[in-house]
Structures are given as C-alpha cells and as structure tokens.
Structure 1
Amino acid sequence: MVGKNALPAGLWAAALAAACAGSPIAPELAACRSGVSALLLSVGQPTAIDPGPTAGCVSFPANASTTDSAEYLLVPQVTAEAPNFRSSFKLAGGQPLTAAPPVAALLQGAPLSPAEQFHNLLRLMERTRAYPGVSGAPRARAQAALTSGPDTVGNQRVFKVLSSLTNYTLPPTNVTAIARSVGQHVAIYVDAAAPPNGLSTQDLDTLRSVFDTLLYATDTTAFGRESDIDGNGLVIVLMTNAVNTLVSASDCLATGYIGGFFFGADIDPSVASMWNNGELFYSMIADSGATLSCSHPNSQIKRVVPVTFVHEFQHMISYNQHVLLRGGRAEALWLNEGMSHYAEELGGRAILAGTGGLDSVRFCSHVLGDLYNAALYWGNPGLHALVDTGGIGGLAERGNAWLFVRYLVDRFAADTTIAAAAAFTRLIDQTLSTGTLNVTQATGQAFAKTVEEWALANWVSDLPGFTAPPALRYKHWAFRTVYPRMNATCSSRLPASFPLVAVASAGPSINVKGVMWTGSGAAYQRALQGPSAAGFTVLFSDSTGALLKATVVPRLNVLRIR
C-alpha cells in the first residue's frame, strides 16, 4: 500500500542526498543559564553533581561571612561501572581557556615492561581459562598426577615452567628440582641447575619459616584457604632458573624483572594434568653472577621473595575461591591485583606486629612497592583507570588498585581490628561475584558512591585543620606524615612529601582540563572564596566545551573544606 503523500523513488533519492549534504548537527555546549540553584553545603559536606540536568553548570553561592574565607574541593570523575571508559574534561570558572591539548596524547599511557605484560597475561588467562595447549570446552577434572615421591627434604621432582613471556605455544621448560626445606604448609624446591653460591640451607629454612608461620597465616586469614588438588597439604615454592631467564639481562636492567608468579593452569581442573597438578608458586633464584639474566644477589632474594609470595598466594586463593569452589570466573584483574597488593601490606604489618614494631626493614620491603606505586598514581591520577579489564596497567594502576582496596577495608570493615578487616576481605574473595558487582555487594552501596567517596578521601583524609567525615578517611595510613618519614627511613625513591597536589585558585579563575578514566579522580582543584565574595559558577564539560556524554556517568565531586 502506498500512502497519498509518498514521493516517487527518484525524488526520495534526491531528498536523501540533500539531507546528507546538509551541515552536521554540532554537539550541545555546556552553558550556565538562569535557574541553576546554588550549592548549599556545610563544612565537611560532600556532594556528587551530575552535569546533565544543568547543562554542566555548577553554581556556588556568595560567601556570607565577612571575616572567614570559604573553600571547596572539586574532583571530576567518570563513575561508570563498565571498564575502560574515558572522557576529556574541562572545568572553567569564567576565565578564558587556552586551547585544550590533544586528547589522544593524554590517553596514551607509558608502555608496559615485559614483566608487567607477563603478569597481565597470566591474570587474563585465568579470566578466560584459555591456557596453553587447550582448545574447546574444559575437560573433566584430571586425576592427580603421580610424583616421584612425597614432598620431603631431598625429594626430586620434574616441573613444567612457562618458557616464554609472550609465546605460549612453545613447549614448557622441564625443570628438575630438589626439596630443600619442608614445613607444615610450604615446601621449597630449588632448581638442580641453580647457579653456584646461592641461598644456604639456613637461608632456605628461614624463608620457609616466614612463609609457613607468618605469611601463610596472614593470607589464609584475610582471604580464605587455597585448594589442595594434589592432596599433599603443601604449597610448593619452586625457585628456578626458568623464572630469571623469562626476562633478558637488558630488559631486566631497563624495565625490571619477574620476582615470581602463580599460574592458574596448575590447579585448573581442565588442564592441571598437563601442567604441575598442584599448588605452586614460581620464584626467581639467586644469581649474583648474572649468569641467567641480570644479577640477583642472595640478599635481594631474601628481601623480595617473601613479598612476592604473599602477593601471588592471594591470586592462588582467589582462583580457588571463585573458580574451583564456586564454579565462577576469576576475579576482575583490577580488583584481583588490588587485593594482592593489599596482601603485601598485610605481610608487612604482620612482620611488624610479630617483632614488637622493631623490624622496620622488612616492613619497608613489604610496603615500599605499594607506596611507590600510589605516588605514581597520585602524580597524575587522571591518566590511570581504576576499573580496567584490558590488563592491570602499569605501576600507577597497581597503586590506585591498592589504595582502593585499602580504602574499602578502612571504610566498610566493622572496626579497625585484624579480625574485622579479614571478615570484610573474605567477602570479596569468597563469592561468585567479581569486579564492580563484587564491590557493590561487599559494601552494600552503589559502586559510583563508593568511588566518589574514595576520590575525595585521597586528598582530605588527613588534611591538616580539617576533620574529614568518616566516609572520607583512611584509618591505617596518614599519607601526609608517612611519605616524608618513609622517604627518610625506608627509601629515597619515595617522595619526600605527599604526592597528590590540589591546585588552588579563586573560583572564577578555575582553569583545568585533562582526561577522566573509569573510577579514578581525574584532578584535584581547590576553589577559594574570600570573605563577602560574590558567588561564582563552574562549567563542567568535555575539552571542547560540549556536554559530557551520559554514558560515562560523569560526576563532579564537591566537598566544602571551610
């Protein structure tokens, strides 16, 4: 049926061509129009503003005090739960802006080191269960593979170890190793071809004791139990040349090394029989002569391996709890990594508590990486996503993941005791849920609200002269005090002052732009208002002045400081 107003086919084509040749519709610009209500916040009161209903306009009232200044903290943020969302942003307080820098340049992160790429791929394989040598659907649970004997001192076994950082089609390296120290929960095997002058029996027994009596208990209390698919009741620590040789000497010196790792295929029922069919932590081996890669002296092994163990053991526990026990997916990479870096901190605190606060050297070893990574993140927070499934990113992303988990524990644990903290972190590991849904269920509030509060807490938690609301506090770290102290006593690699800077300017003079990535506070801006100063407005838009897309769930977090 043809309606009476239908056009002939030729005229339809002409009309369509004319329509397509017209000027494109320009994006709607952010603008301050009449009718936007001014914010009315008391000191210490936060709010998160959706720019959509007001076309990006945020209005601040006149300062009613004739003697006191007013101050607000502004933090733009993408709060979408979908990973990898990003947007340019601009905050304009009435002063003209120079041209925004190319957004593409701001979106390019630093290239990942080979070691970081390897760690990303291990976690991605856990998420997809796409392990080397496997195709199609997962097979039935494999029977425990026969070993050459019980895991007692002197026993010899052959292990399969990944032989390449990137090419997983290559056959694994077969490593013959000998049990050198065996305890209640941990057995240390050492490569039979280890370089000379490595760790002594006493060194290995000391490491095993730390694993067995302190770090094992720390992780299992906080996260739950590991699996035991081989029935030996032990976690194997394999110290092998094969880990050192995964990174060349030149890459090791330029970008870093692999201290150790957990490989999910060893305990995944679909492929475990093709690998080592048991709970295994791979560790680098002492090589002071640099015969395998760059030099790793005995002192470094004794310092680094316990930190790596407590980190990777959380990954092992998480895989057991999510995948093996509950039949779900492995935890999202960003949250999984945050939990493992939190485990590093827990190991340091356990050592400090066990020595009456005297072993600050080993405490430093456990928390140095977390504090260093957090400083990298805070140095430019807008460039680093919190919620990211493309990998865990670089060191800065590890830093924000640790900070977020640390904040979650401080904010939502019932109290500040170890038991209360462990009860909360077990909620995150012992569940089918992953990622943002896991956080929402563990905290009992919307993920967007949690990251909004976290973004503000990063700067105001221990702000001098200001009492942060309970929801905006870290309870176990006072970072403004910690950084100068740890710079002096732990490592000069740490900044000597608090690394998160909030730029201050009068409200009408605000002029800041950059990039927002999912979950992270993009920038920290202080808006100052003198006594009796007039009200002002701030436009929150993308870098071109257009309205921000609702799909990224943009928010401008505002907190009145005074």
Structure 2
Amino acid sequence: MRKLFLCSAVVLVAACGDGGGTSPAVASLSVAVPVPSLPVGQTVTLTAQSVSGDGVAAPAKGVAWSSLDPAVATVSAAGVVTAVAPGVATITAAAASQTARADVYVSGGSVSCAATAASAPAVGEVRLLAGSERSALCLPAIGTGGEYVLVAFNASRDTGSRVLLSASGERVVPVVGAPTPTLAPPAGELLANRAPAPLHMDNGAAALLGSAVPDTRFHLALRGRERRQLRDRMSGAARVRASVRATPSFSLAPAAGASAASGLTPSGAAASLVTVPATKGAQVRLNTQSSSACLSPVYRGGRVVAVGARAIIVADTTNPAGGFTDADYEGFAAAFDTLVYPADVSYFGEPSDVDENKRSVIFFTRAVNELTPANSESYVGGFFFGRDLFPVAANKSENYPGCAGSNEAELFYMLVPDPNGVVNGNRRELAFVKSVTTGVLAHEFQHLINEGRRLYVNNANDFEEVWLNEGLSHVAEELIYYKVSGLEPRSNIDATAARSTPRRRDAFNSYQGSNFGRLRAYLTNPEGNSPYAADDSLATRGATWQFLRYAADRTTGDEAAVFKALANSKTTGFDNVDAVFGGSTLNLARDWAVAQYADDAGIGPNLRSSYTFPSWNYRSVYAAFTDRNGNPLPFPLRVTAVPTTGSVQVTLVGGGATYLRFASAPAATATVRVSSAVGGPPEPVQMVLIRTR
C-alpha cells in the first residue's frame, strides 16, 4: 500500500470563556486535509472539528475559511480548496474565537518529457517543477550543452522528519563552469559537526578567540525553562503590573531595609535585594540562579561601577583578578547608550521598565563563567532570564503566585575576564571578553525587549519560539555592525566594501564574524540543518539569522517595521512569520534555499530578485575569510554531483535542502531521476531547477 504523507493541522488553543449559554465553550479547533497533495486544477474539501472544554468532539459550526497563499490554493466559504499553482498553501479556519491552520501541498499537473524538451529554461531562470518533472526531469538538447542545479527542499514544518532521496542521471556529464565547479567534500570530511568558530577577515584578531565558541545548549535549556516555569504566570504578572501602574504609591520592591539582614556585602554595608540604585559605588545583591526561575535563589554581591543614561553596570565583588577596570565598565555603559539601545529599540520596540528607572542593569559576574565546565570548547557569553521581569510578591486578587527568584529589573548577566582560569580552569583573556561584550549585549537586549513587550505591552500568553527568538537576537548583532561600519542593509556588501577601511573590517570581525561562522556551519550541511529547527544549534542560528535577513530584504519600505512586527506579536514561530510576511513560511524558506546557490553566482539577468540576497554578497565575503592558519576558505555551500553512472543518496530534514549539480552534453538530451521509498519525492519535498550556464 502506498504510504501517504499527510500534513498535520496547526491547532491554536485559546482560553475558554464562560460560555454564556448551555453549550460548552469550544476549547480547540483542528483541520483535516484528506489527501497528501493536490494536483493543479483539482479540488478537495477540508473539514474542521471542534473540541469542547469537557473534551467532546464535533464538526465545527460557522467556520470562516481563508487562504494565506491564494496564488497557490484558494478556499471557498464551504472549505473547498482549489489548487492553483505548485507550492504550499496555508489554509486557516476560524470558529467560536478559535483558529486552526493546515498546509495543503499543491503538486502541479503531469508534464511529459516531450513537453519539457520543448522549452528549455534560460540561463538564470528558476523553475519550480511539477508533476512527473519532480521525479523524471527531461532536459532538451542544447547546442552548447547546459549546466544546472536541482534543488530539493523539504517543506515540512517537522524538522524531526527525514526524507531519503536517491538521484541518478542519464546522459549527464560533469560540470565545468562557475560557480562551484569543485564540489564540496563528502559530509564525513566537513567540519559541520564541530562547533563553528567565528570567522575573521584577513585572520584579524583570530588569536583572541582561542578555541572557544558560544554554548547554545545552555540557552536552549534556559528558554525552555522560561516556558515551563513562567508561561502560566504571564497573565497574572501582566495584571499585577497593570495594577501597579494604576496605583502610583504601590511598589514592587521590598520596603527599605527589609532585606538588610540577609543583604550584607563583603564590606559589611547593607545592600538592597531588588532595587539597583543608579549611584556609582552602591552595593547590591542579585540572584544569579539560572537552574530555576523562581525557586532557590543564589545571591551575589555587586558594586555599581558605572551609570549611563540607559544602563547601570554592576560588577560582582568576587570576580577573578585581571578583569575589567572601572574605565572599561564606563565604556560598556557608553556603548549600550549610544549603540545597543538605539539600534535595538528602533527595530524591536521600547523595553519594559519594571523597576521604573529607565535603565537596564548589566551584571558582570563570575556566575556566568561558572556555567561552563572545565575543558569545554564552548562558553556562555551572557544571558537574560525572563524571570527578572516578573513581580516577586504573590497577589491573590490577580491569581498570581509570585516569583521569589526575580530581581525585578531589566537585567543581563555577563561573562567576565579570567586570565588565570580561576573558574573551572577556563582562561578568558580580557581582550577576548571585551571584544564580544557589546555584541552579546545587543543580542540579549532583544530577548529582554521581546519578552517584556509580550508580558506588559502585547498581552501574549506565551514566549516566542526559540528559533525565531534567537534569530531576531542575531539580527540585533547585525544592526550594531551596520551602525559601526556605516554600511547599510540591501547594499549587497562584498569583501571589498566590508574591509575597505580598518574600521569596517574591525566592525565585521566584532559584530558579524560570528553570524557568518554560524551560517557556515549550516551551509556545510544544508541537508541536515534547518532555519526553523528546535535544537538551537549554532547551524540553526546561522540559518535563521540569514533567513530573517532575506525575508526582510524581500519586503518594501522600512525594514525596521518588519522586525518590530515580529518582535511585537501575540503569536509565535510559524504563525508569527506567516502573519508578518503574508504567506506561508515554507514557500519563503524554499525561495531562501534557492538563493543560497543562485545569489551572486554570475548566472545572468534572468534570475528573479526573489532568489537573491540584497544585503550581502556571500560568495565574495566568504572568499575573504581565512582559517586559523591563514588559509583562504572556499564558499562553504555543500553541493552534490549527480553521478554519470550509479546514484547518490541524500537525507533531508524538515527545512533542509540539497543541491544536485549536473550538466548536459552539447546537442544531447539528459534526464535526472529522483526517487524515494514511495516512488518519486514525497509531496513535502519541493523540486526547483536552476540553469547556471
């Protein structure tokens, strides 16, 4: 029996109302798609099912249907979907204040070899394959021959899914023309499974880095901890904050002196538990516990070492020797005021102000260093923990249980220098920590803005999904690069521009090298990585950053408004991206995957702008990178040759792509066949042909 690949509905559940009548309120809504795919011109009727608060399922009544992608498939008021063009259409059903979505895969009609041979694609043309072309691509004879890339993209939201494809060719020959005539080595020879080091132009400052790379495992666990331990407190915290704003005399901070007995600093002076005064020299105590949001606080003593217009810098009084001076801390306060704050606020919105001091607290503490075990190749550069935005005290009238571990302040925790390796034997040179601090601040400030606005401005009931949240924070790092370098988005920055002055080269090395390093980890294994994976790997982060940059570049008008919309949504993940960009995230990701190969590849004027990266010339920029030994690095996109005999196998995760390169001989036809366990490529896999010569 043929195995069917059914798409699954995305169910959005809202809180039940009181019903207002005898019928139980609808608690959830789901959509069933009865076929795995729909050929162009065909129709299928979708059904919606509701589940009441007491668990009773029934056909949904009064359903309003809509398509987010009418160019791919339309839907009638009765739920009848009509396939219009190949792709993925996201269909939305709304009823009884509930919403559900489902993806409909449109496969296109059958195309014969004869029909294909009659119209060869032009050089630079990108063709979305349909029908039989997906499994048996027949290319016509061309006088001088032709060269092609066949892109297979797994348009599944489930990044845990795996699709095994086999590709073979008939009368294909090896490629000889640019770009990438020399194919990437086999996956086993790549560095894809190793942590990617930040890349530096001209080997500049590479000696500062050692072997350490950022540790994403800690942040994945932290973001998961926020959702598990704080999500149910969000609505109560918002109600408490609203009552605070309505009652000026009410304060969330403990009464003066309430914690003095337990708040002694090493000098013996009383320290406040929550409030951090904007007074240089003031002693404070802050909870640095990262294993629990609200329980078992671990307090550290700190001294206010610098005060800016938007930042209060606090240094842990037990930091290792050989660290930052007060002048260094003053510099970080100035960088936050003049670089980080204006850049992030203009793109993501104003931060919350739970302690009503119009500043963020930046705590440089060895507690961050302690998060990295001995002999680790990674490090934690800093973090933001959403618990610090929650009120400490419980409030029964607002059904809020409190969060005893909260510092009740906009707060970051930052890595400190440790040149002697006092903490777990891990040496952290001052120059290295200083070089990454401003970028980390920009990154973590986006998290703070995002979560604060979800809590207290947009009244969301969940935190953003990790992949999108981290991607936005890597965009924040890129914003600092633009501000420091003087270059702008959508200017196709190449290596010449990026290193045209020492200032621009240093700006890249400080604020963009890490993004390109993470992206390289993705490009060396695009089959096994995805821009929307839940694993929070460095490769995922690199892909997500580039995907968001690409998506914003495709829009018209002010890109800051695009990113602000993403950071100010009540929805999360796919639903957020769908709403902001007005279509299926999967189709957008497919076009992004095509651009990985097509952009700046010199394949002629027929290439549509939707398959380009307007902000960056990645092929040029990567040519300026060197490894730690000063050797130039090739463009890292992994490309697989369609063999002249036999076949090649690739496995695609959801959101993964493979690039199959082949050529046809002069005046000869060529055929490429792609198969899977169910015959041709299963419908979540979209096949795209690029002619390169």
TM over 0.5: yes
Per-residue deviation at 1:404?
0.8
Q: Which residue is equivalent to 2:12? A: none
CA distance in 2, matches of 1:136, 1:186: 25
Note if 1:151 corresponds to 2:278: yes
The Cα offsets for residues 257-295 of structure 1, whole Å up to 9 and x where unpaired, read as 111001011114565553111111110112211111311
Q: Which residue is equivalent to 1:44? A: 124
Q: Which residue is equivalent to 2:13? A: none
Q: Which residue is equivalent to 2:639? A: 502
CA contact (8 A) 1:223 1:317 kept: yes
Which of residues 425, 433, 447 in structure 1 aligns to 2:563? 425
Per-residue deviation at 1:540?
2.5
Note if 1:173 corresponds to 2:310: no
- Structure 1 counterpart SS, 2:580: helix
CA distance in 1, matches of 2:152, 2:648: 10
Sort the Cα spacing of 1:135 and 1:290 in 2 relative to 1 into closer, same or farther, 3 A. Answer: same
Q: Which residue is equivalent to 2:654? A: 518
Please list, as runs of the form range in 1=range in 2, the aligned pairs for 1:9-408 lying within 5 A after superposition: 25=1, 35=112, 37-38=115-116, 40=119, 41-49=121-129, 53-54=131-132, 56-63=134-141, 65-66=142-143, 68-94=144-170, 115-126=215-226, 128-131=227-230, 141=240, 144-146=252-254, 147=274, 150-162=277-289, 164=291, 171-251=296-376, 255-268=377-390, 271=402, 274-293=405-424, 294-328=426-460, 329-353=462-486, 358-359=502-503, 360-389=505-534, 391-392=535-536, 394-408=537-551
CA contact (8 A) 2:169 2:670 kept: no
Q: Which amino acid aligns with 1:182?
A: V
Q: For this pair of structures, how many residues does the alignment match?
A: 497
- Structure 2 counterpart SS, 1:412: coil
CA RMSD of aligned residues (A): 3.2
Per-residue deviation at 1:296?
1.3
Sort the Cα spacing of 1:451 and 1:494 in 2 relative to 1 into closer, same or farther, 3 A. Answer: farther
When the two structures are superposed, what TM-score results if normalisation uses the length of structure 2?
0.66
Sort the Cα spacing of 1:34 and 1:466 in 2 relative to 1 into closer, same or farther, 3 A. Answer: closer
CA distance in 2, matches of 1:34, 1:283: 59
When the two structures are superposed, what TM-score results if normalisation uses the length of structure 1?
0.80
Identity %: 26
CA distance in 1, matches of 2:134, 2:612: 29
CA contact (8 A) 1:154 1:179 kept: yes
More displaced 10-residue stretch of structure 1: 242-251 or 168-177: 168-177
Q: Which structure features the higher share of helix residues?
A: 1
CA distance in 1, matches of 2:157, 2:3: 25
CA distance in 1, matches of 2:631, 2:616: 15
CA distance in 2, matches of 1:557, 1:175: 56
Sort the Cα spacing of 1:84 and 1:138 in 2 relative to 1 into closer, same or farther, 3 A. Answer: farther
CA distance in 1, matches of 2:276, 2:521: 47
Q: Which residue is equivalent to 1:554? A: 685
CA contact (8 A) 2:368 2:413 kept: yes
CA distance in 2, matches of 1:27, 1:408: 34
Per-residue deviation at 1:492?
5.7
Which of residues 476, 482, 491 in structure 1 aligns to 2:621? 482
CA distance in 2, matches of 1:498, 1:281: 36
CA distance in 2, matches of 1:256, 1:131: 28
- Structure 1 counterpart SS, 2:312: strand
Q: Which residue is equivalent to 2:578? A: 440
- Structure 2 counterpart SS, 1:348: helix
For structure 2, the 5+ residue unaligned runs are: 5-109, 173-187, 196-212, 242-250, 255-273, 392-399, 488-498
Per-residue deviation at 1:327?
2.2
CA distance in 1, matches of 2:437, 2:236: 33
CA distance in 2, matches of 1:461, 1:303: 31
CA contact (8 A) 1:184 1:212 kept: yes
Per-residue deviation at 1:313?
1.0
Q: Which amino acid aligns with 2:639?
A: A
Sort the Cα spacing of 1:194 and 1:528 in 2 relative to 1 into closer, same or farther, 3 A. Answer: same
Per-residue deviation at 1:306?
1.0
Q: Which residue is equivalent to 1:531? A: 666
Sort the Cα spacing of 1:170 and 1:289 in 2 relative to 1 into closer, same or farther, 3 A. Answer: farther
Sort the Cα spacing of 1:436 and 1:137 in 2 relative to 1 into closer, same or farther, 3 A. Answer: closer
CA distance in 2, matches of 1:306, 1:349: 14
Q: Which residue is equivalent to 1:541? A: 675
Sort the Cα spacing of 1:433 and 1:482 in 2 relative to 1 into closer, same or farther, 3 A. Answer: same
Sort the Cα spacing of 1:236 and 1:326 in 2 relative to 1 into closer, same or farther, 3 A. Answer: same
Per-residue deviation at 1:334?
1.1
CA contact (8 A) 2:308 2:334 kept: yes
- Structure 1 counterpart SS, 2:127: strand
CA contact (8 A) 1:310 1:343 kept: yes
CA distance in 1, matches of 2:223, 2:610: 31
For structure 1, the 5+ residue unaligned runs are: 1-24, 97-104, 415-419
Q: Which amino acid aligns with 1:220?
A: V
Sort the Cα spacing of 1:494 and 1:129 in 2 relative to 1 into closer, same or farther, 3 A. Answer: farther
- Structure 1 counterpart SS, 2:137: strand
The Cα offsets for residues 337-389 of structure 1, whole Å up to 9 and x where unpaired, read as 11111211221221112999542224312111111111111111111122223
Per-residue deviation at 1:144?
2.1
- Structure 1 counterpart SS, 2:150: strand
CA distance in 2, matches of 1:285, 1:423: 35
